[in-house]
Amino acid sequence: MTSFEAVADQLDHLAVEVPSWAYGNSGTRFKVFGSPGTPRTVEEKIADAAAVHRFTGLAPTVALHIPWDLVDDFGKLKAYADDQGVALGTINSNTFQDDDYKLGSLTHADPKIRQKAVDHNLACIDVMDQTGSRDLKIWLADGTNYPGQGDIRARQDWLAEGLRTIYDRLGGDQRMVLEYKFFEPAFYHTDVPDWGTSYAHVSALGPKAFVCLDTGHHAPGTNIEFIVAQLLRLGRLGSFDFNSRFYADDDLIVGAADPFQLFRILVEVVRGGGYGEGSQTALMLDQCHNIEKKIPGQIRSVLNVQEMLTRALLLDTAALDAARTDGDVLLANEIYMDAFYTDVRRDLAGWREQRGLPADPMRAFLASGYQDDIEAARVGGTQAGWN
Ligand code: PSV
Ligand code: MN
Ligand code: MN
C-alpha cells in the first residue's frame, strides 16, 4: 500500500468551505433548540468559522446565504473576514422564504415572480463582486405537491430562461453551480430533482456553469460515487455540499452515518481530478448542528473529510489496476478495503504538528476557552433557517 509519507504533501491542498448557517441555531419542523454562544451577527458566524480554521488549518473559506447573511457593506465584511484569517466563499441565493415563492421562484407561472427570483440572483452576483466570491450557488425549493398542479414542462423552459439571464451576468472568473435535490419541500415533483436535470441546464448555459452535488439529496441506496465519476468525466462537478444522512436530507456531520460512502466518494474525486491543484471541484459542508455544539461539530466534520481523503489517497492504484486487468475480483476488493481500513489518525496528528497545528484540534479547541468566552459574551443568537 502507498505510505502516508508519500501522500503527506498532497494533503496540503485540502480546503473545506464551511457554511455560515452551521453556526446559527437550527432544528427540525418540531423544535429549534437554542444553544449558548450562538452568533448574533454575520460577523460572529465568521469569527466562529475562523476558529475552525485556526485549530484545523482546513477551512479557509466561509459560504454565505443571502438574505440570511445580508449586511449593508459586503466590502467591510470581506475586510472583517480577512482580519479573522478566512475568506468569503460561495454565495447561496435564497429564493425559498418569501411568501411570493410559495408556488415556485424561477419556475413560477407568474412572470413577475420569476423576474423577482432572477433579480435576487443578480443581486447575489453584485454581492460576489464585493466579496470576491467565485461561485453563485442556486438551490431551488421549486416543485409541486399534486399531479396536475403545475406544467412541469413549461417550468423547465422558464427555469432555463431565468438561468440564462443569471448566467450572462457572471463576471469572467465567476461561476454558477446548480444544486439538485430529489424531494422536499415539494413532494410530488421537484424542478431540479437529479444530477441529469442539473447537468442538462448547466451544459446548455456554458463553461462557467456546474453541478453541485449535495450528498444528502438522493434516494436511499443511490450510488453517489458513480454520479461523482460521471460528472467529473463530463467536467461539470463544480462543488459538493457534504453532510450525512440516515433517512432523508438529515444534514448530519459528514462521515458520521456512513464513513465508507465518504471514502468511496473521495476515491472517485481523486481518481477524476476533483482534488488538488487545478481542480474545478469545491468541497463544502452543508450541515446543521441541531443538538451538538456547533464549532466542535464543524471541527469533527472537516477532520472526517481529511481522514477519509487521506485513506483515499493511500489507495494503491497501480496494484488495483493490475488486479482489475487480471480480472481478480477479490484482490481488487481487498486492495480497496485495505485503504479504507487504514487508521490514519496518528499520522495526521504528526502531519499537523509539523505544520504548527494542534495534533488534536478537537481537544485543543475545547481547552482553548473559546466556547466559554462566546457563551458568556453572546446572548440571544439568531436562527439560521432550515435545510
Ligand atoms: C437544501 O436542502 C440545501 O441543501 C441547500 O443547499 C440550501 O442552500 C441549504 O440546504 C440550506 O437550506
Ligand atoms: Mn445543500
Ligand atoms: Mn439539503
Q: What is the spatial distance between Cα 92 and Cα 124, in angstroms, rounded to a whole number?
A: 8
ipTM of this complex: 0.99
Q: Among residues 9, 94, 89, which one has the least CA distance to residue 50?
A: 89
18 close to 362: Cβ distance less than 8 angstroms: no
What are the pLDDT digits (tens) for 207-219? 999 999 999 999 9
Q: Among residues 230, 190, 185, 188, which one has the least CA distance to residue 211?
A: 230
The answer to whether the CB of 249 is under 6 A from ligand 1 is yes
Contacts of 144 (CB under 8 A, 6+ apart): 150, 152, 186, 188, 189
Q: How far is CA 77 from CA 102, 121, 125, 214, 243, in A?
A: 31, 19, 16, 27, 27
The answer to whether the CB of 286 is under 6 A from ligand 1 is yes
Asked, for residue 49, whether it belongs to a domain, the answer is: yes
Asked, for residue 28, whether it belongs to a domain, the answer is: yes
Q: Specify the ligand 1 atom closest to the Cα of 214.
A: 4
User: Cell 456553469 maps to which residue?
Assistant: 209
239 close to 282: Cβ distance less than 8 angstroms: yes
What are the pLDDT digits (tens) for 283-323? 999 999 999 999 999 999 999 999 999 999 999 999 999 99
Name the strand (E) or helix (H) holding 239: strand 237-242
Domain encompassing residue 222: 13-308
Count of domains in the chain? 1
User: Cell 413577475 maps to which residue?
Assistant: 112
- Phi and psi torsions of 29, nearest 5°: -70, -10
Q: Among residues 210, 314, 266, which one has the least CA distance to residue 16?
A: 266
Asked, for residue 5, whether it belongs to a domain, the answer is: no
Q: What is the spatial distance between Cα 40 and Cα 19, in angstroms, rounded to a whole number?
A: 16
Q: Which ligand is nearest to the CA of 21?
A: 1
Q: What is the spatial distance between Cα 30 and Cα 330, in angstroms, rounded to a whole number?
A: 47
pLDDT at 159: 99
Pure H helices in the chain? 4-8, 42-56, 74-84, 111-131, 152-168, 195-205, 224-233, 259-271, 294-314, 317-325, 329-340, 345-354, 361-368, 370-377
Q: What is the spatial distance between Cα 60 and Cα 297, in angstroms, rounded to a whole number?
A: 16
Positive or negative: CA dihedral 217, 218, 220, 225: negative
User: DSSP code of 22?
Assistant: G
Q: What is the spatial distance between Cα 385 and Cα 387, in angstroms, rounded to a whole number?
A: 7
Q: What is the pTM of this model?
A: 0.98
Return the bridge partners of 100, or none: none
Q: Find the radius of gyration of the CA atoms of the chain.
A: 21
3-state secondary structure of 221: coil
Asked, for residue 341, whether it belongs to a domain, the answer is: no
Burial class of residue 306 (count of CB atoms within 10 Å of its CB; 0-12, 13-18, 19+): buried
pLDDT at 386: 53
Q: Among residues 29, 303, 298, 45, which one has the least CA distance to residue 37?
A: 45
Q: Specify the ligand 1 atom closest to the Cα of 243.
A: 4
pLDDT at 382: 76
Asked, for residue 21, whether it belongs to a domain, the answer is: yes
Dist. CA 191 → ligand 3 center (Å): 15
Give, using CA atoms, the residue closest to atom 12 of ligand 1.
Answer: 387
Listed as ranges, residues in the chain with pLDDT below 50 are 387
pLDDT at 1: 77
* Grid cell digits, residue 204: 446548455
Dist. CA 286 → ligand 1 center (Å): 7
pLDDT at 322: 98
Q: Among residues 239, 241, 250, which one has the least CA distance to residue 288?
A: 250
CATH number of the domain where residue 240 is located: 3.20.20.150
Dist. CA 217 → ligand 1 center (Å): 10
Asked, for residue 18, whether it belongs to a domain, the answer is: yes
Asked, for residue 384, whether it belongs to a domain, the answer is: no
Asked, for residue 224, whether it belongs to a domain, the answer is: yes
Q: Which ligand is nearest to the CA of 241?
A: 2
Among 18, 183, 190, 241, the mutation site with the greatest number of ligand 1 atoms within 8 A of its Cβ is 241
Give the number of C-alpha atoms closer than 13 A to the C-alpha of residue 190, restricted to the C-beta side: 21
Among 179, 187, 243, 245, the mutation site with the greatest number of ligand 1 atoms within 8 A of its Cβ is 179
Q: Specify the ligand 1 atom closest to the Cα of 65.
A: 8
Q: Among residues 323, 279, 287, which one has the least CA distance to residue 304?
A: 287
Q: Are strands 135-139 and 87-93 parallel, antiparallel or unpaired?
A: parallel
Give, using CA atoms, the residue closest to atom 9 of ligand 1.
Answer: 387
